[in-house]
Structure 1
């Protein structure tokens, strides 16, 4: 959790971009990302030089022959006059970093620096310096970027918007990713799910004495001191994979992962529905919030899917099933329509989730979770590939720790989430047969009998309490008594003020 000063500075940064003529949140985030990367590049270069001196090893500075490109050599009072230098020299230099065939070079090829004035550049540099990024630990550096990305809540369009961090973390805590597993998000957006997976693994392998807890109960400072060198290499180089079709989102996701310490992220720009089918059986874990209400040309996906539909929310479910290894797990957000839709495609995808997977849980979320940019009701499906379903655990989530209106005001940031995680993990140890409760089991056979309907309202029982009212004659008598009392008081008031009324005539 960021302290108020850091949050205030980030809010100022947004305001400067808005008033400086960059009002599109995606464009602003992209430009802010470039500036943050420029600063981080020098900080990391300095750290590597110092490490090399301590270890008596060799290291060639990234800025060798280009010392004037270092952040510290222009990003101060001189920034106002440095726009031409940054735009025409430093930014092209950044685009050429890394191996010629690297993902970074590939996706930065078409990047442009569009900060329009030296004044805006100067203001942005001043605020970024005030964030003291170099002095922050890796968790806080990542949190700074997460908070900047939170502005995307105003940019949701065409079913594409960012999953709130506390919802992502809930899904990760349910899925319980392990070191050695290969994880994927085939519609990764800003790579938020991949970051949450990494943080979970780091926390699981950090000694308790290192972990810090703030006043809100948020945990940080995950050193992962229990990971071996081999495990670190696996985590950084062969654990986190993502695909995204939007080129701007690709750049943002790369920056997000790099701000969280992933130097060689595996992010691919592609349409997962048409280009990922060759990766069947590759991943142990999938977490995703794929686009809602999208459609695709059926000619593009001929022979790739068993269900016949152009609806992307259904196609992504089958894709995730295909991408998983046997025993692989998936937690995915779907619109409510997926749970009860009556078309053949809706029924067939639910049938696959039930009969070819162990559908572990259906968590119904309130409609305000994705406000202000979407009011659609959603649910989380959690399933394991390769085992038939015997019972499905349902949970009726009514609060997520924020108000469910457009303002999404902070309440406690948790709502039902801790209860969901605890009860899910102990679902086989407790009696969840009461269907009037928040959570309960439903047998697979009953769900099949109901056309594979997975909406919680189909099975939840409402408990009606009998209310006894007074007999009508007593109610009438009490009403007469109350009316008489009112008349008496009105008459008393009239008498008390009668003299005042007379004097005003």
Structure 2
């Protein structure tokens, strides 16, 4: 059975289960099972390496909770040991009462936050098995057992299949959209910031880690065969950082990074906004920031105290956090709602003043309405800024797809291709223009995108000419009415 067919088969099986409702549930349940199969393959590979090196590897997972013991024990012919393979209520009780309790305990008394054991505890802390039938779970386990995470080819294919699952969650609407930013937008943002080997990349609202993974793949592709051993190690272990506060998104992101070959991601389950940005040192900052933070939310006064410019608007707090998280000479690309651009209320104006005075806000990409449908119809923009002095002018680009974006007709990379090509020189075209910083300051820091090339010239006629035109129109209407009445009378008499 091909890999995509296997995953399709699993989703079909789960859809029939009483405990599962919608794409969010079945993706979550597939994720924790995939995670445990990956973990078993990972530990088996480490054991093999240790044996070859004459050393010893101590497994993280104790024997009774290892995949080969509880999930898919084998007989002498390497077939499923039907006698010892739990199913039905026995399997459900084991998973719910023993396995999950064991895995949740990993977070206790662990000081090393980057350790795999701590990450396992983090993943399972808020997770539960939602598969109601133990027979359903047995079917799923049997299929996932056939996947090989030690095969780079299969791992690569599986990463794309998993991306499709996440995309399906995004198009499913509801709350699931928060985990998925359209790949076309992510790729355009990553292409424009031109990440170099050795740079650190950060997303404080990581979701399913689309930005971090695209950055990872971008460096691998652009520097294929050119990375030193140290640069390769750095890319895998010390380049990518993210925070995610939602339990479900956290496991999705962790799984997504693992499937793309990042074995122990620097992804932390925390609310980014609980950190006081006044305490940041240069060592806490990053070379590149890529993010699509949540917007439209309201934050409590306790959270607002962590920011010099208080606001209950989540998007303003995240923007301040990212500004403070950028290293000297660093570069950022952040998705913001339209309101951040045009609102000139006290806190909005102050944040934008800081952005223009202490950062180079050099580019604003105006995205078309419908980019984040179906879960949000809010108009959005991508702001690009560097920590390289003050803003002198802003180059705007208005993305105009040839059709209205809908759930079934999403944005494509080709719609953003011209923007990516023009970005290095910030060329002015029918869809792009430049505005001086002085003009923005005069307009109380309104930085909204108003394409001057789309404005239609309006010629205002003198009042006497307007009155004359009205009289002419009245005369024509009277003439037409008279003709219509004549035709009707002729018809009645005839």
TM-score where L is the length of structure 1 = 0.76
Aligned match of 2:190: 172
Aligned mates of 1:176, 1:375 — CA distance in 2 = 30
User: Structure 1 residues 14-23 or 284-293, which shifts more?
Assistant: 14-23
Aligned match of 1:81: 87
Q: Confirm whether residue 294 of structure 1 aligns to residue 293 of structure 2.
A: no
Change (3 A) 1:161 1:399: farther
**Contact 1:371/1:408 (8 A) holds in 2:** no
Q: Confirm whether residue 141 of structure 1 aligns to residue 149 of structure 2.
A: no
Give the deviation of 1:264 after TM superposition: 2.4
Give the deviation of 1:457 after TM superposition: 1.8
User: Structure 1 residues 189-198 or 101-110, which shifts more?
Assistant: 101-110
**Contact 1:9/1:130 (8 A) holds in 2:** no
Q: Deviations over 1:432-479 (max 9, x none)?
A: 2x5xx012222222222333222222644436799xxxxx9xxx9xxx
**Contact 2:290/2:332 (8 A) holds in 1:** yes
Give the deviation of 1:26 after TM superposition: 3.7
Aligned match of 1:453: 446
Matches within 5 A, 1:330-479: 330-399=332-401, 404-408=405-409, 413-427=412-426, 430=427, 432=428, 434=429, 437-457=430-450, 459-462=452-455
Aligned mates of 1:97, 1:267 — CA distance in 2 = 16
Change (3 A) 1:110 1:295: closer
Aligned mates of 2:71, 2:36 — CA distance in 1 = 6
**Contact 2:156/2:259 (8 A) holds in 1:** no
Unmatched 5+ stretches in structure 1: 207-224, 467-471, 477-505
Aligned mates of 1:173, 1:15 — CA distance in 2 = 37
Secondary structure class of the residue paired with 1:292: coil
Matches within 5 A, 1:221-236: 225-236=225-236
Aligned match of 1:198: 216
Q: Deviations over 1:105-125 (max 9, x none)?
A: 441345333322123213323
Secondary structure class of the residue paired with 1:368: coil
Secondary structure class of the residue paired with 2:175: coil
Give the deviation of 1:403 after TM superposition: 6.3
Q: Deviations over 1:282-331 (max 9, x none)?
A: 111111111111111224322x3232321111111111111111211111
Change (3 A) 1:182 1:198: same
Aligned mates of 1:329, 1:347 — CA distance in 2 = 22
**Contact 1:166/1:414 (8 A) holds in 2:** yes
Q: Deviations over 1:52-81 (max 9, x none)?
A: 555565545667855742755269595672
**Contact 1:63/1:70 (8 A) holds in 2:** no
Q: Which residue of 318, 323, 326 maps to 2:325? A: 323
Q: Confirm whether residue 257 of structure 1 aligns to residue 257 of structure 2.
A: yes
Aligned mates of 1:72, 1:181 — CA distance in 2 = 42
Aligned match of 2:128: 112
Change (3 A) 1:72 1:158: closer
Q: Deviations over 1:191-219 (max 9, x none)?
A: 2221111111211221xxxxxxxxxxxxx
Aligned mates of 1:331, 1:369 — CA distance in 2 = 17
Q: Deviations over 1:3-56 (max 9, x none)?
A: x96545434433332221211544432221121123223333443444455556
Give the deviation of 1:143 after TM superposition: 1.7
Aligned match of 1:239: 239
Matches within 5 A, 1:23-102: 23-52=21-50, 58-59=56-57, 65-66=63-64, 68-69=68-69, 72-73=72-73, 78=82, 81=87, 83-84=91-92, 86-87=95-96, 100-101=110-111, 102=115
**Contact 1:286/1:324 (8 A) holds in 2:** yes
Aligned mates of 1:64, 1:343 — CA distance in 2 = 57
Unmatched 5+ stretches in structure 2: 460-471, 477-494
Change (3 A) 1:52 1:65: same
User: Structure 1 residues 328-337 or 117-126, which shifts more?
Assistant: 117-126
Aligned match of 1:124: 140
Give the deviation of 1:97 after TM superposition: 7.0
Aligned mates of 1:116, 1:340 — CA distance in 2 = 49
Aligned mates of 2:437, 2:58 — CA distance in 1 = 62
Secondary structure class of the residue paired with 1:170: helix
Change (3 A) 1:234 1:91: same
Change (3 A) 1:158 1:58: closer
Aligned mates of 1:453, 1:460 — CA distance in 2 = 19
Aligned match of 1:495: none
TM-score where L is the length of structure 2 = 0.78
Aligned-pair Cα RMSD in Å: 3.4
Change (3 A) 1:280 1:133: same
